[in-house]
Structure 1
């Protein structure tokens, strides 16, 4: 996927006001997906994403194999607390992605996966 399309995607997510904080990044050359956060506009360069927890530093858009926006995110409000869950309605993001261009996406019970490269 092009750099411009990734920037459009992140603009849609940030403009949705859903407050999506967590996402899962799968980067080319990395064996395991990594939990991180959705970058805001200030963290996006012309051809890179600033530090968002996926590689502990900036990386180029072309390294993104896929990105998952989860429907449900678990968190602990304090240490030793039981895990609590926040659910997110991603339908507005899906609808907007479908109107602005052709994005390779999969929707399942866990959330929405947006592909840079699909095997």
Structure 2
């Protein structure tokens, strides 16, 4: 999944231009969003759909995202380094299923979508949509 070459970044950009008509997020906007979420709601759970991966992936929480790699990338504890421009969309589900483990029963956790929604609103214009299932930040649109 991780890509560390400029040629690969150009390939991702070409794929995005071919498959989508509008890019709604840029590397800088993603970095700002992850930084704000890390500060405001450190325990929030997210799912991300990448351009080059068929199924969405659990992305962990904002505190597992490190912003120190070179600009086009972020580093994640779960997925390793990922390219910001490869993010098609990011979901914050309203309810997260948490497996029990060690004899405990499974549980569901309700996430604070109001606080999550306030983060991008405080930063400026972000493509955020809210539904009964949660929030979606759209990186690319058809």
Smaller-chain TM-score range? Answer: 0.7 to 0.9
Normalized per residue, which structure has more helix?
Answer: 2
Contact 1:28–1:63 under 8 Å retained in 2: yes
- CA change 1:81–1:111 in 2 (3 A) is same
Q: Deviations over 1:5-63 (max 9, x none)?
A: 1111111111114521x21110002211112213437622322121343xx33111000
Aligned match of 1:2: 26
Which residues of 2 match residues 31-70 of structure 1 at below 5 A? 31-40=54-63, 43-44=66-67, 45=69, 46-53=71-78, 56-70=79-93
With over 3 angstroms needed to count, the CA separation of the structure-2 counterparts of 1:95 and 1:49, relative to structure 1, is same
Number of positions where the alignment pairs a residue of Structure 1 with one of Structure 2 = 116
Contact 2:43 2:62 in 1 (8 A): no
Higher relative contact order (CA 8 A, sep 6+): 2
The runs of at least 4 consecutive aligned structure 1 residues that moved more than 3 Å come to: 79-82
User: Would the alpha carbon gap of residues 23 and 42 (structure 1) be closer, same or farther in structure 2, given more than 3 Å must change?
Assistant: closer
Out of 24-33 and 11-20, give the one that drifted further: 11-20
For the pair shown, the structure with the greater C-alpha radius of gyration is 2
Task: Find the partner of 2:107 among 71, 74, 84.
Answer: 84
TM-score (norm 2): 0.71
Q: CA RMSD in A?
A: 2.0
Q: Return the alpha-carbon distance in structure 1 between the equivalents of residues 58 and 76 of structure 2.
A: 12
Q: Is the 8 A contact 2:51 2:88 kept in 1?
A: yes
The answer for unaligned runs of 5 or more in structure 1 is none
What is the SS of the residue equivalent to 2:105?
coil
